[in-house]
Protein backbone atom coordinates (compact mmCIF):
# COMPACT_ATOMS: atom_id res chain seq x y z
CA UNK A 1 0.00 0.00 0.00
CA UNK A 2 1.33 3.40 -0.93
CA UNK A 3 1.07 5.84 1.90
CA UNK A 4 0.88 9.25 0.37
CA UNK A 5 2.48 11.74 2.72
CA UNK A 6 0.18 10.98 5.64
CA UNK A 7 -2.95 11.72 3.69
CA UNK A 8 -5.78 9.28 4.20
CA UNK A 9 -7.87 10.84 1.51
CA UNK A 10 -7.04 13.04 -1.43
CA UNK A 11 -9.76 14.37 -3.67
CA UNK A 12 -8.41 15.80 -6.90
CA UNK A 13 -10.39 17.84 -9.42
CA UNK A 14 -13.63 16.07 -8.65
CA UNK A 15 -16.54 16.99 -10.88
CA UNK A 16 -19.99 15.52 -10.37
CA UNK A 17 -22.69 16.65 -12.74
CA UNK A 18 -26.38 15.92 -12.85
CA UNK A 19 -28.12 15.70 -16.17
CA UNK A 20 -31.53 17.24 -15.58
CA UNK A 21 -34.26 18.50 -17.85
CA UNK A 22 -33.15 21.96 -16.87
CA UNK A 23 -29.68 21.41 -18.24
CA UNK A 24 -26.50 20.07 -16.72
CA UNK A 25 -26.23 20.86 -13.03
CA UNK A 26 -22.64 21.10 -11.94
CA UNK A 27 -23.30 20.06 -8.35
CA UNK A 28 -19.60 19.62 -7.66
CA UNK A 29 -17.24 21.38 -9.99
CA UNK A 30 -13.51 20.87 -9.80
CA UNK A 31 -12.97 20.30 -6.13
CA UNK A 32 -9.69 19.24 -4.55
CA UNK A 33 -8.87 18.70 -0.92
CA UNK A 34 -7.03 16.32 1.31
CA UNK A 35 -7.54 14.80 4.72
CA UNK A 36 -4.75 13.64 6.98
CA UNK A 37 -5.07 10.60 9.18
CA UNK A 38 -6.80 11.32 12.46
CA UNK A 39 -7.91 14.80 11.43
CA UNK A 40 -11.36 16.25 11.16
CA UNK A 41 -12.40 18.20 8.13
CA UNK A 42 -15.45 20.40 8.15
CA UNK A 43 -17.40 21.17 5.01
CA UNK A 44 -19.78 24.09 5.32
CA UNK A 45 -22.07 25.76 2.88
CA UNK A 46 -25.67 26.58 2.19
CA UNK A 47 -28.18 24.01 0.97
CA UNK A 48 -27.39 23.00 -2.57
CA UNK A 49 -23.75 24.03 -2.42
CA UNK A 50 -22.57 20.50 -3.15
CA UNK A 51 -21.50 19.35 0.31
CA UNK A 52 -23.43 16.12 0.30
CA UNK A 53 -22.77 15.39 -3.35
CA UNK A 54 -19.04 15.67 -2.68
CA UNK A 55 -19.24 13.02 -0.03
CA UNK A 56 -21.59 10.74 -1.88
CA UNK A 57 -19.12 10.96 -4.76
CA UNK A 58 -16.33 9.78 -2.49
CA UNK A 59 -18.06 6.48 -1.81
CA UNK A 60 -19.70 6.44 -5.23
CA UNK A 61 -23.30 6.59 -4.13
CA UNK A 62 -24.38 9.25 -6.60
CA UNK A 63 -27.68 8.14 -8.12
CA UNK A 64 -26.78 7.36 -11.71
CA UNK A 65 -28.71 8.44 -13.75
CA UNK A 66 -29.06 11.42 -13.48
CA UNK A 67 -25.79 11.96 -11.58
CA UNK A 68 -22.38 11.24 -12.96
CA UNK A 69 -18.85 11.68 -11.72
CA UNK A 70 -17.41 13.35 -14.78
CA UNK A 71 -13.78 13.48 -13.82
CA UNK A 72 -11.37 13.54 -10.94
CA UNK A 73 -9.65 11.20 -8.55
CA UNK A 74 -10.52 10.10 -5.05
CA UNK A 75 -7.34 8.64 -3.63
CA UNK A 76 -8.10 6.71 -0.48
CA UNK A 77 -5.07 5.06 1.08
CA UNK A 78 -3.22 5.29 -2.18
CA UNK A 79 -5.84 3.80 -4.49
CA UNK A 80 -8.36 5.63 -6.62
CA UNK A 81 -11.87 4.73 -5.48
CA UNK A 82 -13.36 5.93 -8.72
CA UNK A 83 -11.55 3.21 -10.64
CA UNK A 84 -12.56 0.33 -8.39
CA UNK A 85 -14.99 -2.35 -9.43
CA UNK A 86 -18.41 -2.36 -7.82
CA UNK A 87 -17.67 -5.33 -5.54
CA UNK A 88 -14.44 -3.74 -4.40
CA UNK A 89 -16.09 -0.43 -3.50
CA UNK A 90 -18.78 -2.34 -1.61
CA UNK A 91 -16.10 -3.86 0.57
CA UNK A 92 -14.86 -0.36 1.38
CA UNK A 93 -18.25 1.10 2.16
CA UNK A 94 -19.04 0.54 5.78
CA UNK A 95 -15.79 -1.32 6.41
CA UNK A 96 -13.28 1.46 5.80
CA UNK A 97 -15.45 4.47 4.99
CA UNK A 98 -18.63 4.76 6.99
CA UNK A 99 -21.36 7.36 6.80
CA UNK A 100 -23.82 8.90 9.21
CA UNK A 101 -26.83 10.58 7.72
CA UNK A 102 -28.78 13.67 8.53
CA UNK A 103 -32.10 12.29 9.61
CA UNK A 104 -31.92 9.45 12.10
CA UNK A 105 -35.69 9.09 11.86
CA UNK A 106 -35.50 7.74 8.34
CA UNK A 107 -32.04 6.24 8.09
CA UNK A 108 -32.85 3.08 10.01
CA UNK A 109 -34.98 0.40 8.42
CA UNK A 110 -38.31 0.52 10.28
CA UNK A 111 -38.93 -3.19 9.75
CA UNK A 112 -35.64 -4.47 11.11
CA UNK A 113 -34.64 -4.85 14.71
CA UNK A 114 -31.88 -2.49 15.70
CA UNK A 115 -29.62 -5.39 16.61
CA UNK A 116 -30.18 -6.99 13.20
CA UNK A 117 -29.13 -3.79 11.43
CA UNK A 118 -25.98 -3.56 13.46
CA UNK A 119 -25.24 -7.24 12.97
CA UNK A 120 -25.56 -6.93 9.22
CA UNK A 121 -22.46 -4.73 9.19
CA UNK A 122 -20.10 -7.05 10.98
CA UNK A 123 -21.49 -10.22 9.43
CA UNK A 124 -20.87 -8.67 6.05
CA UNK A 125 -17.47 -7.12 6.60
CA UNK A 126 -15.82 -8.91 9.49
CA UNK A 127 -17.27 -12.36 8.83
CA UNK A 128 -18.85 -12.57 12.26
CA UNK A 129 -21.18 -15.42 13.13
CA UNK A 130 -24.64 -14.49 14.37
CA UNK A 131 -23.66 -14.85 18.00
CA UNK A 132 -20.44 -12.86 17.60
CA UNK A 133 -22.24 -10.17 15.66
CA UNK A 134 -24.97 -9.95 18.29
CA UNK A 135 -22.43 -9.54 21.10
CA UNK A 136 -20.55 -6.98 19.06
CA UNK A 137 -23.76 -5.08 18.36
CA UNK A 138 -24.55 -4.90 22.06
CA UNK A 139 -21.06 -3.75 22.95
CA UNK A 140 -21.28 -1.05 20.28
CA UNK A 141 -24.63 0.11 21.63
CA UNK A 142 -23.09 0.31 25.08
CA UNK A 143 -20.19 2.27 23.68
CA UNK A 144 -22.47 4.92 22.21
CA UNK A 145 -24.31 5.22 25.49
CA UNK A 146 -27.58 3.35 24.97
CA UNK A 147 -28.72 2.48 28.47
CA UNK A 148 -29.72 -1.14 29.05
CA UNK A 149 -28.29 -2.06 25.64
CA UNK A 150 -28.86 -5.79 25.95
CA UNK A 151 -32.58 -5.39 26.52
CA UNK A 152 -33.04 -2.64 23.98
CA UNK A 153 -31.01 -4.16 21.16
CA UNK A 154 -33.93 -6.23 19.98
CA UNK A 155 -36.29 -3.28 19.75
CA UNK A 156 -37.43 -1.73 16.52
CA UNK A 157 -36.26 1.76 15.51
CA UNK A 158 -39.64 3.35 16.28
CA UNK A 159 -39.14 2.49 19.93
CA UNK A 160 -36.09 4.79 20.03
CA UNK A 161 -36.02 8.56 20.26
CA UNK A 162 -34.27 10.68 17.65
CA UNK A 163 -31.10 11.10 19.66
CA UNK A 164 -31.01 7.39 20.46
CA UNK A 165 -31.42 6.52 16.80
CA UNK A 166 -28.54 8.79 15.88
CA UNK A 167 -26.51 6.96 18.51
CA UNK A 168 -27.50 3.71 16.85
CA UNK A 169 -26.39 5.12 13.50
CA UNK A 170 -23.06 6.07 15.01
CA UNK A 171 -22.72 2.62 16.56
CA UNK A 172 -23.42 1.12 13.18
CA UNK A 173 -21.00 3.39 11.37
CA UNK A 174 -18.20 2.67 13.83
CA UNK A 175 -18.79 -1.04 14.32
CA UNK A 176 -16.19 -2.07 11.75
CA UNK A 177 -13.71 0.57 12.97
CA UNK A 178 -13.58 2.49 9.70
CA UNK A 179 -10.62 4.69 8.83
CA UNK A 180 -12.89 7.46 7.63
CA UNK A 181 -16.21 8.54 9.02
CA UNK A 182 -18.36 10.85 6.92
CA UNK A 183 -20.98 12.58 9.00
CA UNK A 184 -23.52 14.32 6.80
CA UNK A 185 -25.18 16.91 9.03
CA UNK A 186 -25.40 14.46 11.91
CA UNK A 187 -27.10 16.89 14.25
CA UNK A 188 -29.35 18.93 12.00
CA UNK A 189 -32.48 16.95 12.81
CA UNK A 190 -31.87 16.87 16.55
CA UNK A 191 -32.66 19.38 19.25
CA UNK A 192 -29.90 21.41 20.76
CA UNK A 193 -29.12 19.45 23.92
CA UNK A 194 -29.04 16.20 21.99
CA UNK A 195 -26.85 17.89 19.36
CA UNK A 196 -24.25 18.63 21.96
CA UNK A 197 -24.35 15.07 23.27
CA UNK A 198 -23.99 13.57 19.81
CA UNK A 199 -21.09 15.85 18.88
CA UNK A 200 -19.37 15.05 22.15
CA UNK A 201 -19.89 11.35 21.42
CA UNK A 202 -18.36 11.65 17.95
CA UNK A 203 -15.42 13.52 19.43
CA UNK A 204 -14.82 10.93 22.13
CA UNK A 205 -15.07 7.99 19.78
CA UNK A 206 -12.79 9.71 17.31
CA UNK A 207 -10.21 10.18 20.04
CA UNK A 208 -10.48 6.53 21.06
CA UNK A 209 -10.36 4.99 17.60
CA UNK A 210 -8.24 7.52 15.71
CA UNK A 211 -10.78 7.66 12.89
CA UNK A 212 -10.59 10.57 10.48
CA UNK A 213 -13.82 12.47 10.14
CA UNK A 214 -15.45 14.56 7.45
CA UNK A 215 -18.16 16.62 9.05
CA UNK A 216 -20.70 18.21 6.76
CA UNK A 217 -22.74 20.91 8.35
CA UNK A 218 -24.16 24.35 7.92
CA UNK A 219 -23.63 25.17 11.54
CA UNK A 220 -20.47 27.24 11.96
CA UNK A 221 -20.53 26.69 15.71
CA UNK A 222 -20.19 22.96 15.18
CA UNK A 223 -17.31 23.53 12.78
CA UNK A 224 -15.48 25.71 15.27
CA UNK A 225 -15.76 23.16 18.00
CA UNK A 226 -15.05 20.00 16.09
CA UNK A 227 -12.74 20.44 13.13
CA UNK A 228 -9.08 20.97 12.27
CA UNK A 229 -9.66 22.14 8.71
CA UNK A 230 -12.62 23.76 7.04
CA UNK A 231 -13.81 23.94 3.48
CA UNK A 232 -16.40 26.52 2.56
CA UNK A 233 -18.43 25.51 -0.45
CA UNK A 234 -20.63 27.61 -2.67
CA UNK A 235 -22.31 26.65 -5.94
CA UNK A 236 -20.29 23.46 -6.25
CA UNK A 237 -16.95 25.18 -5.75
CA UNK A 238 -14.57 25.51 -2.85
CA UNK A 239 -14.59 29.18 -1.89
CA UNK A 240 -12.22 29.00 0.99
CA UNK A 241 -10.06 26.34 2.52
CA UNK A 242 -8.13 26.88 5.73
CA UNK A 243 -7.26 25.69 9.19
CA UNK A 244 -10.28 26.18 11.37
CA UNK A 245 -8.64 28.77 13.59
CA UNK A 246 -7.42 30.78 10.59
CA UNK A 247 -10.77 30.69 8.88
CA UNK A 248 -12.50 32.12 11.88
CA UNK A 249 -9.86 34.73 12.71
CA UNK A 250 -8.79 35.87 9.25
CA UNK A 251 -11.35 34.86 6.63
CA UNK A 252 -10.06 35.53 3.12
CA UNK A 253 -13.29 35.42 1.21
CA UNK A 254 -16.28 37.76 1.22
CA UNK A 255 -18.64 34.78 1.33
CA UNK A 256 -16.99 33.35 4.42
CA UNK A 257 -17.11 36.77 6.02
CA UNK A 258 -20.79 36.97 5.25
CA UNK A 259 -21.37 33.57 6.78
CA UNK A 260 -19.47 34.49 9.90
CA UNK A 261 -21.42 37.72 10.24
CA UNK A 262 -24.68 35.78 9.94
CA UNK A 263 -23.98 33.81 13.10
CA UNK A 264 -26.08 35.26 15.90
CA UNK A 265 -23.93 36.77 18.61
CA UNK A 266 -25.56 36.41 22.01
CA UNK A 267 -23.39 39.16 23.53
CA UNK A 268 -24.55 41.80 21.06
CA UNK A 269 -28.24 42.00 21.69
CA UNK A 270 -29.14 45.00 19.64
CA UNK A 271 -29.84 45.14 15.94
CA UNK A 272 -31.06 42.85 13.25
CA UNK A 273 -29.35 39.57 12.45
CA UNK A 274 -27.12 39.98 9.43
CA UNK A 275 -28.11 38.09 6.33
CA UNK A 276 -26.27 37.70 3.05
CA UNK A 277 -28.54 39.39 0.50
CA UNK A 278 -30.04 37.38 -2.34
CA UNK A 279 -30.34 33.67 -2.87
CA UNK A 280 -27.86 30.94 -3.83
CA UNK A 281 -27.56 30.77 -7.62
CA UNK A 282 -29.21 28.19 -9.84
CA UNK A 283 -26.28 25.88 -10.53
CA UNK A 284 -27.81 24.79 -13.82
CA UNK A 285 -27.45 28.27 -15.29
CA UNK A 286 -24.27 29.82 -13.96
CA UNK A 287 -23.00 33.00 -15.52
CA UNK A 288 -19.36 33.19 -16.60
CA UNK A 289 -18.11 35.31 -13.68
CA UNK A 290 -17.93 34.59 -9.97
CA UNK A 291 -21.08 32.74 -8.85
CA UNK A 292 -21.19 34.81 -5.67
CA UNK A 293 -20.86 38.16 -7.45
CA UNK A 294 -24.58 39.12 -7.38
CA UNK A 295 -24.61 38.83 -3.57
CA UNK A 296 -21.13 40.06 -2.79
CA UNK A 297 -20.45 43.36 -1.04
CA UNK A 298 -16.93 43.56 -2.54
CA UNK A 299 -18.19 43.11 -6.05
CA UNK A 300 -16.38 44.87 -8.89
CA UNK A 301 -16.92 44.87 -12.60
CA UNK A 302 -14.33 42.07 -13.13
CA UNK A 303 -16.33 39.71 -10.89
CA UNK A 304 -19.18 39.53 -13.40
CA UNK A 305 -16.81 38.97 -16.27
CA UNK A 306 -14.10 36.60 -15.16
CA UNK A 307 -14.04 33.53 -13.02
CA UNK A 308 -11.98 34.27 -9.89
CA UNK A 309 -8.59 32.64 -9.23
CA UNK A 310 -7.90 30.29 -6.33
CA UNK A 311 -5.42 32.37 -4.36
CA UNK A 312 -3.01 31.00 -1.77
CA UNK A 313 -3.08 33.47 1.09
CA UNK A 314 -0.89 31.56 3.51
CA UNK A 315 0.24 27.95 3.80
CA UNK A 316 -2.93 25.87 4.06
CA UNK A 317 -5.14 28.84 3.36
CA UNK A 318 -6.75 29.37 -0.03
CA UNK A 319 -9.57 31.54 -1.24
CA UNK A 320 -11.49 31.77 -4.48
CA UNK A 321 -11.83 35.51 -5.08
CA UNK A 322 -10.44 38.26 -7.29
CA UNK A 323 -9.79 40.29 -4.17
CA UNK A 324 -8.75 37.50 -1.82
CA UNK A 325 -5.62 39.32 -0.64
CA UNK A 326 -7.50 42.53 0.04
CA UNK A 327 -10.22 40.73 1.99
CA UNK A 328 -7.60 38.75 3.87
CA UNK A 329 -5.62 41.87 4.75
CA UNK A 330 -8.78 43.61 5.87
CA UNK A 331 -9.69 40.67 8.13
CA UNK A 332 -6.20 40.67 9.58
CA UNK A 333 -6.54 44.25 10.79
CA UNK A 334 -7.61 44.70 14.36
CA UNK A 335 -11.36 45.02 14.21
CA UNK A 336 -13.08 48.10 15.42
CA UNK A 337 -16.13 46.56 17.01
CA UNK A 338 -19.40 47.78 15.57
Partner 1 sequence: MSTEKKTDPELIHIPPEMAIAEADVRPEEAGEFIRGTSLWRDAWRRLLKNKLAVFGLIVVVIVTITSIIGPAVIKRVFGFAPDYIPTDDVRLIRSFPPFRGPNGEFSWAHPMGTDNAGRDQFARVLQGGQISLFVGIIATLVSLLIGVSYGAIAGYFGGRLDNWMMRIVDVLYSLPYVIVVIVLLSVFRSQTPRGQLILLFIALGAVSWLTMARIVRGQVLSLKNQEFVLAARATGVSSGRIIFRHLVPNTLGPVIVYATLTIPQIMLTEAFLSFLGFGVQAPLASWGSLAAEGIQNIAIFPWQLIFPGVTMALTLFSLNFLGDGLRDALDPQMRTV
Choose the stretch contacting partner 1; rule: CB under 8 A; options: 40-48, 168-176, 209-217, 274-282: 168-176
d(CA 231, CA 291): 17
Choose the stretch contacting partner 1; rule: CB under 8 A; options: 4-12, 15-23, 155-163, 287-295: 155-163
Task: Write the Ramachandran bin of 50: left for phi over 0, alpha for psi from -120 to 50, otherwise beta.
Answer: left
d(CA 1, CA 211): 18
Q: Which residue among 69, 149, 169, 313 contacts partner 1 (CB under 8 A)?
A: 169
Number of residues that bind partner 1 (CB under 8 A): 34
d(CA 2, CA 79): 8
Taking CB under 8 A as the rule, does residue 159 contact partner 1?
Answer: yes
Choose the stretch contacting partner 1; rule: CB under 8 A; options: 27-35, 118-126, 251-259, 290-298: 118-126
Q: Which residue among 120, 228, 312, 330 contacts partner 1 (CB under 8 A)?
A: 120
Report, in Å, the least distance between residue 101 CB and partner 1. Answer: 5
The angle, 0 to 180 degrees and rounded to 10, between the axes of the packed helices 162-174 and 130-143 is 120
Strands 310-314 and 40-44: unpaired
Q: Which residue among 8, 25, 108, 324 contacts partner 1 (CB under 8 A)?
A: 108
> Which of 227, 321, 312 shows the shortest CA–CA distance to 35?
227
d(CA 63, CA 209): 31
For partner 1, the binding residues in 48-67 under the rule CB under 8 A are: 59, 61, 65
Q: Which residue among 92, 215, 216, 223 contacts partner 1 (CB under 8 A)?
A: 92
Report, in Å, the least distance between residue 48 CB and partner 1. Answer: 18
Taking CB under 8 A as the rule, does residue 168 contact partner 1?
Answer: no
State the DSSP H helix or E strand holding residue 9, giving kind and residue range, or none if neither.
strand 7-20
Q: Helix H segments across the chain?
A: 51-58, 86-92, 114-125, 130-143, 149-152, 162-174, 192-209, 220-226, 244-249, 254-262, 301-305, 324-332
Choose the stretch contacting partner 1; rule: CB under 8 A; options: 150-158, 242-250, 256-264, 274-282: 150-158
Taking CB under 8 A as the rule, does residue 155 contact partner 1?
Answer: yes
How many of the other CB atoms lie within 10 Å of CB of 194? Answer: 18
Report, in Å, the least distance between residue 190 CB and partner 1. Answer: 15
Taking CB under 8 A as the rule, does residue 269 contact partner 1?
Answer: no
Residues that bind partner 1 in the complex, under the rule CB under 8 A: 59, 61, 65, 90-95, 98-99, 101-103, 106-112, 120-121, 124-125, 148, 151, 155-156, 158-159, 169, 172-173
Amino acid sequence: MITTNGNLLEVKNLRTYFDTEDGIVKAVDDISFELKRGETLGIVGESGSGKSVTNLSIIRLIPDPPGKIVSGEVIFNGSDLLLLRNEAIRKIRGRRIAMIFQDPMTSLNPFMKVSRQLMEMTELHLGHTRAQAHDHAISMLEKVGIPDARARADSYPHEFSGGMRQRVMIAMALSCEPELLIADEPTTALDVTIQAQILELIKTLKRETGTSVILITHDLGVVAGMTDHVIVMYAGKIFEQARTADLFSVPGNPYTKGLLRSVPDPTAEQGKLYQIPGLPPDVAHLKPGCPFAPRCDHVQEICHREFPPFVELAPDHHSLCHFAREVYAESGKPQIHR
